[in-house]
Amino acid sequence: DNEWKTRYETQVELNKQLERQVNILRDKVELIRGNPADKLFIVRTFDKMPV
């Protein structure tokens, strides 16, 4: 019974991390769509973003 609880909590934690990464990627996509001219700026922004 305890094993399932641990598994569940691990999965919830993983889901949170994945969700955060999805949001970061979504932001990056918005950046690219919003300003394709300034490619260098976008690359620099990526480097600063934590994943």
Place of tokens 């909590």: 9
- pTM for this entry: 0.55
Q: Which domain holds residue 10?
A: 2-48
* pLDDT score of 37 more than 90: no
Q: Which residues contact 51 (CB under 8 A, 6 or more apart)?
A: 21, 24
Q: How far apart are CA 24 and CA 40, in angstroms?
A: 18
What is the predicted pLDDT for the residue at 39? 63
Question: How many domains does the chain contain in total?
Answer: 1
Residue 50 CA, distance from chain mean position: 8
Q: What digits encode the pLDDT tens for the residues 8-36?
A: 999 999 999 999 999 999 988 887 777 66
Q: How far apart are CA 34 and CA 4, in angstroms?
A: 44
Neighbour tally for 6: CB within 10 Å: 9
